[in-house]
Every structure is written in structure tokens, then in C-alpha cells.
Amino acid sequence: MNLEILKSNVGDNYFCLIADDEGRAALIDPIDGEQAVNRVRRQNLELVYVINTHFHPDHVGGNPTVLQAFPEAVVVAGEGDAEAINAQFVPGGGRGVDEVLSQGDVVKVGELELKVLETPGHTPGHISLVHGHHLFSGDTIFVGGAGNCRFGGDAGVLFRTFRDVLRDLPPDTVFYPGHDYAIRNAEFLLSLEPEHPEAQSVLEEAKRARQAGRLMKTTLGRERAYNAFMRYDDEALREVLASEHGERLEEERQRSQSEEEAVFRCLRSLRNEW
Ligand SMILES: [Fe+2]
């Protein structure tokens, strides 16, 4: 797989261009339509798909520019978010989602096969895509963090995505999130666990990556070691929350089906205000 991670000139997003060896390509969340079109043209690629991980405008906003340049490209998105994407374009005469995707579907970009994982929580119909050990995760997981649940999301649903989907993927899976929040996330984690060595080294790496203008990347295995949202069952972390944020944890217990969910929700709620 030929992969380019592109820093958008619109907002603080990153988006991806992938291609097989024959030049058949897909854009994932091409918010920066102009840059996306230039990249595809410059490499003489045949754009087969525009893939939207979820409906938020900072992920789908570049679709019209891309589709004007490459009208033959097929727009795909998760079943649960398709209507919200269509609502942004179809009433004005634009194109919405051509094909909806669900769990287990495979998007074929020439020789590349991308497996669809339903990863709801940030939005109801959020999808992620897996190719080998690469995970295109949209706004589900970030380096040191988790997607927010304030714009159509649900923290309990996101918890189940972390528990039932992300933690089942191989530890050497590298993920490509839609934003770089690594520094703020690491600082938040260190506010809970100031001595955590892995969070400290991620913070240093994130600062170097930011200076170099590139997206900080980690693996799911590494996230399991320090990202609090992946450690909802870690007793030491639970004790920190119980002693420092006992009231909040108790509130979240009332909404949760398990202690693990309460820990995850408590973290999400604290991070919202941090
Ligand atoms: Fe989003």
C-alpha cells in the first residue's frame, strides 16, 4: 500500500491518500479538497473511492471539490452516518453517499482491500478501516486519547468500541487519526499519573513530531500501555480516579453498566473540561 498522510490546510485535520501499485486510489476524509485533488493529479492516480469515516463537516467538507474533479469516484460511509452526510450536500444539489458500509464489508481499491469496522461512539455511524496492520481510525482513538462525544456521540457506545473492537486488534496495529491532539492528551494523562514513564516519553515525542510538522503515530499496543481510555480496567488508574475525582466517578457509575464503563466515562468527562 502506498500511503500519504496529509496535513490539511483547512482546520487542524489530517487525511489520507492510499493507492495500490497500479495507481488506483482512495481518499479518506479529504477535508482539504484542493490539496487532495492536487495530490491525486500530480501522481496521475485513478481515484476510485472517497471514504468518509463519519459525518462531521471537518471530515466531509472537501467532498464537493474532490467529486467535481473526479466525478467517477464513489463516496462511501457508514450506514449510521450516511443520512447526516447526505443532509449536508443533497438539498443543495450536491452528491451524498453512493454506497453505505457496514461491519465486515470490504472496500476494494484496486488490489488493496480495506476491511470495514463499525466504531461508533464519536458519532453513531463512525467507521474505521483496516488494511493489514494499518488502521484508519477517524476520530475514534487519538494518540493518548479518545474521540469526544459532544457532537452526536455517546461515551458508553465509544467505551464498547474500545473494549470490543480496538482492544481486539493486533498490538502492532498502527493507527492514523484525523487530528493531532497528542500533546494535550499526554499532558492530560500526566495530570492524572504524573510519574507514568510511557506518557512522559509520548509527550516528548509528540513535541518533536509537532516541531517537524508531522502526525505523531503510535501502535495500539503502545496505547494499551499508557492511554487511560485503553486502561479502563487498570486498577491503579481506577484508584487515582476514585481518590482524586470520586464524585465524578460515582456520577458516571449511575449511567454505566459496568465499573469499566464508569472509568471510561469519567475520563471522557474530565478530558472534556481539561
Ligand atoms: Fe469528528
DSSP single-letter state for residue 91: G
Strand partners, 2: 19
Q: Which residues surround ligand 1, an ion (CB under 5 A)?
A: 56, 139
Element (H, E) at 137: strand 134-138
Ligand 1 centroid–CA 236 distance in Å is: 30
pLDDT in tens, 194-224: 999 999 999 999 999 999 988 899 999 999 9
Ligand 1 centroid–CA 114 distance in Å is: 21
Q: What percent of the chain has pLDDT over 70?
A: 100
**Distance from the first to the final alpha carbon of the chain:** 38
pLDDT-based confidence at residue 166 (cuts at 50, 70, 90): very high
pLDDT in tens, 29-38: 999 999 999 9
DSSP-based three-state secondary structure for 271:
helix
Q: Check residue 214 and give its pLDDT.
A: 87
**Interval 152-168 mean pLDDT:** 97
Mean pLDDT score of the chain: 97
- Nearest C-alpha neighbor of 77 from the set 65, 63, 91: 63
Residue 11 has pLDDT above 90, yes or no: no
Ligand 1 centroid–CA 54 distance in Å is: 7
Instruction: Annotate 11-68 with DSSP letters as a single string.
Output: TTBEEEEEE-TTSEEEEES---HHHHHHHHHHTT-EEEEEEESS--HHHHTTHHHHHH
- Nearest C-alpha neighbor of 176 from the set 18, 10, 9: 18
Instruction: Annotate 247-263 with DSSP letters as a single string.
Output: HHHHHHHHH-SSHHHHH
Q: Check residue 103 and give its pLDDT.
A: 98
Strand partners, 235: none
Ligand 1 centroid–CA 21 distance in Å is: 31
Q: Check residue 273 and give its pLDDT.
A: 94
Which residues have C-beta within 8 Å of that of residue 171, sequence separation ≥ 6?
219, 220, 221, 222, 224
Ligand 1 centroid–CA 195 distance in Å is: 31
pLDDT in tens, 176-199: 999 999 999 999 999 999 999 999
Ligand 1 centroid–CA 31 distance in Å is: 11
Ligand 1 centroid–CA 175 distance in Å is: 16
pLDDT-based confidence at residue 10 (cuts at 50, 70, 90): confident
Ligand 1 centroid–CA 151 distance in Å is: 8
Ligand 1 centroid–CA 250 distance in Å is: 28
Q: How far apart are CA 227 and CA 153, in angstroms?
A: 20
Ligand 1 centroid–CA 163 distance in Å is: 20
